[in-house]
Amino acid sequence: DTAVSQTPKYLVTQMGNDKSIKCEQNLGHDTMYWYKQDSKKFLKIMFSYNNKELIINETVPNRFSPKSPDKAHLNLHINSLELGDSAVYFCASSPDGGTEAFFGQGTRLTVV
């Protein structure tokens, strides 16, 4: 049973397209996140949601829009994809005030 699952695992798309990445966690956590890991493996938080409400938005272009239909799901929509958006995107979750973030396996996005 996967605790934090995201789909798809790989995504190849052309510049200018719009795409979505889905994330679901079955841990009962209240807080979910999206992280971006670039080609140098630098890991940066993009968004944080607590119980469906946006908590953190780290200087991310507004082409990126997270959507949380319920506290178990946090999807990431990306409009007008650019080459620089190519990266691995990780979904994660943690309990409220929790000390550990549980990461999904990542979605490798390649924009061509």
Partner 1 sequence: QQQVKQSPQSLIVQKGGISIINCAYENTAFDYFPWYQQFPGKGPALLIAIRPDVSEKKEGRFTISFNKSAKQFSLHIMDSQPGDSATYFCAASIGGGNAGKSTFGDGTTLTVKP
Positions in the binding site for partner 1 (CB under 8 A): 4, 31, 33, 40-45, 48, 55-56, 90, 92, 94, 97-106
Rounded CA separation 44/25 (Å): 20
**For partner 1, which is the closer residue by CB, 73 or 79?**
73
Please list the residues that pair with 78 across neighbouring strands: 19, 64
Residue 59 CB, shortest distance to partner 1, in Å, is 13
Instruction: Report yes or no: 78 and 63 within 8 Å, Cβ to Cβ.
Output: yes
Residue 80 CB, shortest distance to partner 1, in Å, is 27
The HSE-up count of residue 43 (CA atoms within 13 Å, CB side) is: 9
**For partner 1, which is the closer residue by CB, 60 or 79?**
60
